Structure 1
């Protein structure tokens, strides 16, 4: 009874493997020490897996066909407008050489029709983002043409007579050159997305050209501070 009441719990002893026991049971070399851990060591991933490359966009056959059709449409429209612009200038050139039209009237008619017909040709281009660049090729070709003739690199008396006032090739580097630069600007910046380009071209081509024609015909009253202008053309340019 006394022994039962005086029970004292014994503390468990910690038995570590000694070198002699390890050598005796496992027959290891003297330089080998075996230590057991209660929990397994954590696994360390040494190799790094590279992230997957983003998938390449796949273009369907219908999308590629639509893009090709748009390029063909824009290229054909550019060729058509170029031929029309060249034919327009050639037509008035022939009329001027045959003395069927005065040089000043021919020049202003080309001034009016070139920009307006170019603007009216925009709907025949496609709806792609590259359409405006194809359209701007037309005034760009005319710009290069004016530079070549204005710098007297290439001579064309018919073009000079139908476009300039006094028949001087250097005049091509002023008004006519500014004219085609505005066409390029309106095509690239405004295109069919903003009415600003349409209004600007209408004012530059129609307003300015018609004001000159009407001023020369009906402008009899000169402006006191500028005798080269008349009242009928005060809203436009010189009469």
Structure 2
């Protein structure tokens, strides 16, 4: 598939996902919170699942154009240059369009940065996005639903919960291992050499632990950046091919 065709196909899938979530929210099948978290969790995972269609030498740039376009829309709507009430309703906590300029725009920017910086040469980008999408996304869901035990005894965060931290770890680890295994099977090189499944699992778990630890910190406004950054830094070391020796 050509570069432009790959970008258009990936963009169409991403747009279809967003519109589908919005439709479910409009029909009452998803609450506002569920719609926002579904988009947060699914968008990046679907994006990475489409990486095998990008095969040209400039593939990372064409792939990065997909989240870049979404980020540009967040900024346009958040700044008032574009009107999209459905996007505001499904992607913000308060219904204020300006909220898109914070967490959602940062979410998109991290996708662009991870794609351009790591792409298929390193698993760090995949692990970072899995921590952001599955880890951070599930942490909020689990914390709201099962978060009776607070991290209160720990001095750095009295609002976060053990359930949320556990979900962040489990979601990050499972998504990272699953996505790396899938891309590897699809013939996408990820710079993991001949690491065995067990070694991949240990590396993903280490990165997930770092993501969960950072997610537990009381910095909700920037966790769309700090959580994937922590996961990526650990993944670079824990999933290096040298670990196979």
User: Taking structure 2 as the reference length, what is the TM-score of the superposition?
Assistant: 0.64
Matched, 1:96 2:25: yes
Which secondary structure state, in structure 1, belongs to the residue aligned with residue 160 of structure 2? strand
Higher RCO (CA-CA < 8 Å; seq separation 6+): 2
1:84 to 4, 8, 13: 13
The gaps in structure 2 that reach 5 residues or longer are 166-211, 221-245
Is 1:232 the equivalent of 2:160? no
What is the number of equivalent residue pairs in this alignment?
A: 166
After TM superposition, the runs of 4+ consecutive aligned structure 1 residues lying more than 3 A away are 225-228, 234-238
Say whether 1:173 aligns with 2:101.
Answer: yes
Under a length normalisation based on structure 1, what TM-score does the superposition of the two structures give?
A: 0.66
Q: Find the counterpart in structure 1 of residue 226 from structure 2.
A: none
RMSD: 1.6
Partner SS for 1:159: helix
| Shift in Å, 1:93 | 0.7
CA distance in 2, matches of 1:113, 1:96: 15
After superposition, the C-alpha distances for 1:72-91 in whole angstroms (9 at most, x for unaligned) are: 62111100111111111111
Question: Of 201, 205, 210, which aligns to 2:129?
Answer: 201
2-structure distance, mates of 1:219, 1:187: 33
Larger Rg: 1
Deviation at 1:227, TM superposition (A): 5.3
Cα 1:79/1:196, change in 2 over 3 Å: same
Q: Aligned partners of 1:190 and 1:231: how far apart in 2?
A: 31
The alignment status of 1:212 with 2:140, answered yes or no, reads: yes
The residue aligned with 2:198 is none
For residues 76 and 153 of structure 1, the distance between their equivalents in structure 2, rounded to whole angstroms, comes to: 28
